[in-house]
Structure 1
Amino acid sequence: MAGSSHGHTPAAWTGVTISFIGFCVAGVFMVANSPVGFWAGSALIVIGAIAGGAMKMAGFGTPKEPQDVVEARERAAARERATA
């Protein structure tokens, strides 16, 4: 999985960071017995998911392939065409 860059995008980092903060806020206010704070933290979790999804749709969710990978794929395709 390390070779697939799964989760190593600005969209993923932003969504997870906002959601993590929301989990922390909700947890603190749950222990403090404050329903308003708990629901505010829960709202942050949803906002994190929305922000990550919006950034993914804006193009920040897919890492660019390194140029050497693109060139290697093109060379392999050319060899395949030459042998066929």
Structure 2
Amino acid sequence: MSIEHEEPGHGHSPAAWTTVIIMLVAFAIGTVAFFLHQPIIVWSSVGLLVLGLIVGWILGKAGYGVRGPKYVAKAHD
């Protein structure tokens, strides 16, 4: 008996990659700024982190998410 499961996509989409890259850059900047005692830059990086979430959400709604019409999944070998 075979049961077919639909793969959720695991976030391999332009929306997911863009979100992760923006958030990683924000986290790296915030870490260095925290180490150098620069609170303005730390809080700016927190803002950039939130901006990354918003950009990912917007791209997902624009169709670039896993199940979006503008996303074409690549075949895995």
1:26 matched to 2:34? The reply is no
Report the RMSD for the aligned CA atoms in angstroms. Answer: 1.7
Normalising by structure 2, we get a TM-score of 0.75
Query: Identity of counterpart residues, as a percentage?
Result: 34
**Structure 2, unaligned runs of 5 or more:** 1-6
Structure-1 residue corresponding to 2:16 = 12
Higher relative contact order (CA 8 A, sep 6+): 2
Structure-2 residue corresponding to 1:52 = 56
Structure ranking higher in helix proportion: 1
1:41 matched to 2:20? The reply is no
Normalising by structure 1, we get a TM-score of 0.69
Q: Whose radius of gyration is greater, 1 or 2?
A: 1
